[in-house]
Amino acid sequence: MAYLIKGVSILGAAPTDLFIKDGVIAAPFEGAEVVDAGGLVALPGLVDVHTHLREPGREDAETVETGSRAAALGGYTAVCAMANTSPVADTAGVVEQVWRLGREAGLVDVQPIGAVTVGLAGKQMAELGAMASSAANVRIFSDDGFCVADPKLMRRALEYVKAFDGVIAQHAEEPRLTEGAQMHEGEVSTRLGLTGWPAVAEEAIIARDVLLAEHVGSRLHVCHVSTAGSVEVLRQAKARGVRVTAEVTPHHLLLTDELAAGYDPVFKVNPPLRTRKDVEALRQALLDGVIDVVATDHAPHAVQDKECEWAHARPGMLGLETALPIVLSIYGPQWELIADRMSRAPARIAGLAGHGGDLTVGSPANLTLVDPSARRVVDPSELASRSRNTPYAGMTLPGRIVATFLRGEATVLDGKAVK
């Protein structure tokens, strides 16, 4: 299809016309399908470096297709699929399967993340080279859900991926310090009598890993940074020139541990919701660039795994369909910031050429159109995800994603998925 996006504001600039043809932003031509974009803002298609799609293994919670649809509706054109599936994505065969399922769904580019260790068990390094040279072209490796706690293994993995400019994405959680943890360790956990997950369990691993990455000269990415102390460790490492990048989730930018007081497991997540002071530090770190990207950690869970006692509920929240509205609610229409932290920087970290580019003639037409003046009440029954575990149910959020284009083909139009 060829489109004329009429009267659109690119990153908040004066309205203009944007032509799309043969998958790229084109020079003006006749005969395009007109999309009236008055009042809409165009952003480069969003890129998520941290998504759980649950396939293979837990198709009752999400599939590559349903997760891809949720992503497109959230304004995304590419997502990186975490490796903690069943079987684990620790071989070329499994990452190629996920990559192929993504191509078949055709709603976003699904870039598989490979496991660092066999079965996420933290004992033996997985076949990183085979995954990197597979059709899936894996560049990010992560045991997310678990920390690569063994420092020798972490060092070897960092050394190994250096050869092909890969990156290790660490779920920073010293496991001995979080045994039995149910929520953030602090005043609220004491009051509720729940075992705490101390901030230092995250900060200690990040401190260790930036030193390892510096020693080896390799790339480290820190998943879901959640504490003010972690921000300080990262700030110092970046000032020294360590090759470290970091992400923060929308929920850690918005919600606090006070929400655990109602024992509603929808607020149970790992790392846990922290304090107001942490939230403020994370918000500032994203502005400063100490934290590079917003990543969703979209974690769909089936009803029986989530709507149960707090202690037994799985940690995790949906994120893809609400990420941009949450970020807008916090930062307002800072389009340059949003484009950088939600598209350009994540595309760069993941090595996804074709995403996160400028919307100029000749560039791949990966973009999303947002109506910043619209407000929407989050209704879990309207989400495209197969799961319902959103912590934002009933909240009114700004910004409606009106259309998304993947290589010039509309995946979302009029706020609805095209297929």
Catalytic residues: 297
222 in Cβ contact with 206 (< 8 Å): yes
Query: Of the two residues 54 and 171, which places its CB atom closer to Zn ion in the complex?
Result: 171
Any binding-site annotation on 50? yes
Any binding-site annotation on 137? no
Query: Of the two residues 144 and 292, which places its CB atom closer to Zn ion in the complex?
Result: 144
Question: Which among 281, 328, 291 has a CA at the least distance from the CA of 49?
Answer: 291
Single-letter amino acid, residue 77: T
Three-class SS of the chain: CCEEEEEEEECCCCCEEEEEECCEEECCCCCCEEEECCCCEEEECEEEEEECCCCCCCCCCCCHHHHHHHHHHCCEEEEEECCCCCCCCCCHHHHHHHHHHHHHHCCCEEEECECCEHHHCCCCECCHHHHHCCCCCCCEECCCCCCCCCHHHHHHHHHHHHCCCCEEEECCCCHHHCCCCCEECCHHHHHHCCCEECHHHHHHHHHHHHHHHHHHCCEEEECCCCCHHHHHHHHHHHHCCCCEEEEECHHHHHCCHHHHHHCCHHHCCCCCCCCHHHHHHHHHHHHHCCCCEECCCECCCCHHHHCCCCCCCCCCECCCCCHHHHHHHHHCCCHHHHHHHHHHHHHHHHCCCCCCCCCCCCCECCEEEEEEEEEEECCHHHCCCCCCCCCCCCCEEEEEEEEEEECCEEEEECCEECC
Residue 246 Cβ, how far from Zn ion at the closest point, in Å? 13
Q: Among residues 155, 171, 221, 274, which is the contact residue for Zn ion, using CB under 5 A?
A: 171
Any binding-site annotation on 297? yes
Query: Of the two residues 184 and 344, which places its CB atom closer to Zn ion in the complex?
Result: 184
- The 93-132 contact track toward Zn ion, x by CB under 5 A, reads ----------------------------------------
Any binding-site annotation on 143? no
Q: Does 202 bind Zn ion (CB under 5 A)?
A: no
Return the range that interacts with Zn ion (CB under 5 A); candidates 73-81, 139-147, 257-265, 318-326.
Answer: 139-147
Any binding-site annotation on 316? yes
Return the range that interacts with Zn ion (CB under 5 A); candidates 148-156, 169-177, 205-213, 393-401.
Answer: 169-177
Return the range that interacts with Zn ion (CB under 5 A); candidates 29-37, 170-178, 301-309, 380-388.
Answer: 170-178
Query: Of the two residues 278 and 340, which places its CB atom closer to Zn ion in the complex?
Result: 278
The residue count for binding Zn ion (CB under 5 A) is: 2
Query: Of the two residues 173 and 371, which places its CB atom closer to Zn ion in the complex?
Result: 173
Query: Of the two residues 72 and 169, which places its CB atom closer to Zn ion in the complex?
Result: 169
Any binding-site annotation on 389? no
Cα(419)–Cα(412) distance, rounded to whole angstroms? Answer: 8
Return the range that interacts with Zn ion (CB under 5 A); candidates 163-171, 203-211, 233-241, 251-259.
Answer: 163-171
Any binding-site annotation on 84? yes
Q: Among residues 55, 62, 143, 144, which is the contact residue for Zn ion, using CB under 5 A?
A: 144
Any binding-site annotation on 315? yes
Return the range that interacts with Zn ion (CB under 5 A); candidates 12-20, 136-144, 162-170, 338-346.
Answer: 136-144
Residue 171 Cβ, how far from Zn ion at the closest point, in Å? 4
Interface residues for Zn ion in 366-405 (CB under 5 A)? Answer: none
Give the annotated binding-site residues for substrate.
52-54, 84, 270, 301, 315-316
For the annotated binding site for Zn(2+), the residues are: 50, 52, 144, 171, 224, 297
**Contact residues for Zn ion, defined by CB under 5 A:** 144, 171
